[in-house]
């Protein structure tokens, strides 16, 4: 029985990561195909009857939605990086920021996406250790920036503070936002990716101590006098 249990666990360790990976990829594929189907249905209602029938047949082709959406994203990126596209997007942002309710949602999502995905963003550039949720208990957190100008003067006796994100495990998409003195943090040499793997695995996957490159370091970790 012990030998059988050993083989069962070994087989589970082989198939479980593969099964989860395939499930996630199939979910993403289904989501993209669903979006593509909505676009096809919308086009079919506008175009003539014959064109609508031809478009309907396209929905039966698996993976076509993924290819179409990828081409759409690349085309949008090309448009957004030239002068005309930037001017048009600037006007579009101004319009959306004037619409009630929509402006709150749009501006919040845009700020977060610009911070996380833009090459100029500073979020998740540095992994640190912080005492949380009590003294003597340490967890990995990520420096996300500095407190707002209105908040910073109220945080203490002039000691520099930083904003950090403390993710939960095994789901790092939820967590806690804290503002703590920089002196209470212990910087780590591991990369952000390695720290995320360590958190998601609940400490099972030990990261290798690979120094971060200069592009990953947060401005919050630099000398303020510099």
**Per-residue pLDDT at 63:** 65
In three-state secondary structure terms, 118 is coil
Low pLDDT (below 50) residues in the chain: 214-226
Residue 55 lies inside a defined structural domain of this protein: yes
**Per-residue pLDDT at 220:** 41
**Per-residue pLDDT at 49:** 52
**Per-residue pLDDT at 224:** 37
Q: How far apart are CA 164 and CA 129, in angstroms?
A: 10
**Per-residue pLDDT at 102:** 75
Same-domain pairing of 132 and 192: yes
Cis? peptide before 24, omega within 30° of 0: no
Domain total for the chain?
A: 2
CB atoms within 10 A of CB 145: 18
**Domain hosting residue 177, numbered range:** 126-219
**Per-residue pLDDT at 44:** 67
**Per-residue pLDDT at 222:** 42
Which of 62, 87, 112 is where one domain is finished? 87
Residue 105 lies inside a defined structural domain of this protein: no
Same-domain pairing of 131 and 212: yes
Question: Taking the alpha carbons of 183, 185, 189, 193 in that order, is the dihedral positive or negative?
Answer: negative
Residue 119 lies inside a defined structural domain of this protein: no
**Per-residue pLDDT at 11:** 77
**Per-residue pLDDT at 140:** 93
**Per-residue pLDDT at 120:** 54
pTM score, whole prediction = 0.50
């Amino acid at each position: 029985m012990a030998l059988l249990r050993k083989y069962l666990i070994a087989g589970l360790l082989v198939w479980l990561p593969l099964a989860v990976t395939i499930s996630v990829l199939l979910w993403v594929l289904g989501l993209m195909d669903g979006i593509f189907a909505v676009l096809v249905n919308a086009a079919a209602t506008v175009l003539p009857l014959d064109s609508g029938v031809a478009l309907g047949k396209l929905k039966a082709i698996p993976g076509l939605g993924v290819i179409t959406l990828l081409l759409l994203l690349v085309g949008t990126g090309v448009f957004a990086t030239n002068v005309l596209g930037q001017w048009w997007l600037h006007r579009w942002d101004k319009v959306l920021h004037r619409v009630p309710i929509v402006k709150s949602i749009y501006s919040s999502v845009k700020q977060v996406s610009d911070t996380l995905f833009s090459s100029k963003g500073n979020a998740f550039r540095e992994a640190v250790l912080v005492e949380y949720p009590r003294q003597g208990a340490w967890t990995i957190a990520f420096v996300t920036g500095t407190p707002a100008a209105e908040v910073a003067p109220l945080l203490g006796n002039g000691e520099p503070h930083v904003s950090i994100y403390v993710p939960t495990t095994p789901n790092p998409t939820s967590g806690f936002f804290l503002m703590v003195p920089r002196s209470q943090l212990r910087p780590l040499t591991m990369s952000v990716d390695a720290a995320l793997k360590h958190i998601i695995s609940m400490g099972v996957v030990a990261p290798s101590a690979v120094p971060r490159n200069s592009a990953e370091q947060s401005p919050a970790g630099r000398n303020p006098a510099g």
